[in-house]
Amino acid sequence: MKILVANLGSTSFKYRVYDLGDPSEPLLARGAVERIGSEIATVRIPAAADGSAPAWEETRPIKDHAEALAICLNHLSHPDHGVIESEADLAAIGFKAVHARGISGVQRIDHTVLEAMEAFNAVAPAHNPPYVRAMRDLAARFPSLPLVAAFETDFHRDIPEFRQVYAIPSDFRALGVRRYGFHGASHRYIAGRIAQLLGRTDLKVISCHLGGSSSVCAIEAGQSRAASMGMSPQSGLPQNNRVGDFDPFALPYLIQETGKTLDEILQILASRSGLAALSEGSGDLRDIEADAARGVLGARLALDHYIDGIRQLLGSYFVILGGADVIVFTGGIGENSQVVRAGVCGGLDWFGIQADEQRNREARGEASFHAANSRVQLWTVPTNEELVVARQTRDLLIQATSC
């Protein structure tokens, strides 16, 4: 069973193809199309699925996501290097969908699902509109190919209700205003993978998905118990260019003092805030770390604010879980920034957390970096959200055929 997993941006299309009919679940192919909608869109496809061989690259006009998929399918079915004969060899396309009103879990995409996603466009403005648009385009272009949405919120469904609610009137809560949590595919993968690595299913895990978009999740025996993001993926920790948690009563004050509209303020909070705003430069943590090392005050402020936010969540989740067996760092920052890992774990000996400085510096891929006498294990584990979505898509298709 070959499944293509799509990860969409407003002008990008990244994909991976897995063969889940093979017990080893091999990655067959991957690629990306960037700058969709422009005359200089770029198609980039590695010659090897693991990226070990040079990428084939082409620049050309690409109108929309459906056209981007058609181009990728042509490469996937190429007689010399393809992994399928035609689109008919694909069992489905699985989407790492973000949010929808009244809908979560894994869903076959239809009119009802798309309308539910559109109802939450204002809640997930960077994610839902491009996904809905692309899903409609792909459904029209490839009507016989099943499309499946695996929603990010699903992993957090078991969080206790008292931890999901906001302290707001019941008629507001009835509209779906609550804490949802996101990055569900990543936290689900980490929960399963660290259980395999340590040979235990009863672990208390704090999963730190740190990247351009960051969240922290408390996990007990494979189930989410708390998540840092709330009603929208704009919340929680500061993102590279999104504000994170923010007092809503600052909004009327900003409107009054700046003369900007509510929509203008929200646009700034969603695209010109976060680490980029604090550093007054790049929102990329690699640039922030380099600037902070050179003594740039804004970069130092951004780095300290980010690390402190993660540490506050660690403390909260230690209380919620009654301690922790392991803290896992994943995502582009979590896997690669020894500075952030050291900052988060530093000075926590009394928590039973002790990092080994040399092992932290050398940590690559799946690696532990705790000191020998640390009660809490510390790990870096690369996430694999696409494989989770592929598995969820397969399971939905099998369930549908058995009914």
- Residue list for the binding site for ATP: 14, 284-286, 332-336
> Cα(379)–Cα(238) distance, rounded to whole angstroms?
23
Quickly list H helices, 328-384.
Answer: 331-336, 338-345, 357-362
Binding site feature residues: 7, 14, 284-286, 332-336, 385
User: What letter represents residue 74's amino acid?
Assistant: N
Query: Are 330 and 216 contacting, i.e. CB atoms less than 8 angstroms apart?
Result: no
Terminal-to-terminal C-alpha distance of the chain: 19
Binding site feature residues for Mg(2+): 7, 385
**For residue 341, which of 326, 357, 325, 317 has the smallest C-alpha distance?**
357
Three-class SS of residue 7? strand
**For residue 91, which of 18, 48, 44, 146 has the smallest C-alpha distance?**
146
> Cα(57)–Cα(38) distance, rounded to whole angstroms?
16
User: What letter represents residue 98's amino acid?
Assistant: V
> Cα(45)–Cα(198) distance, rounded to whole angstroms?
35
Query: Are 266 and 235 contacting, i.e. CB atoms less than 8 angstroms apart?
Result: no
DSSP-assigned letter for residue 350: G
User: What letter represents residue 188's amino acid?
Assistant: R
Query: Are 184 and 156 contacting, i.e. CB atoms less than 8 angstroms apart?
Result: yes
**Residues 6 or more apart whose Cβ sits within 8 Å of residue 134:** 6, 8, 13, 64, 65, 66
**For residue 208, which of 390, 47, 100, 334 has the smallest C-alpha distance?**
334
Q: Which region holds residue 158: left if phi is over 0, alpha if psi is between -120 and 50, else beta?
A: alpha
Hey, which residues does 379 pair with through a beta bridge? 328, 368
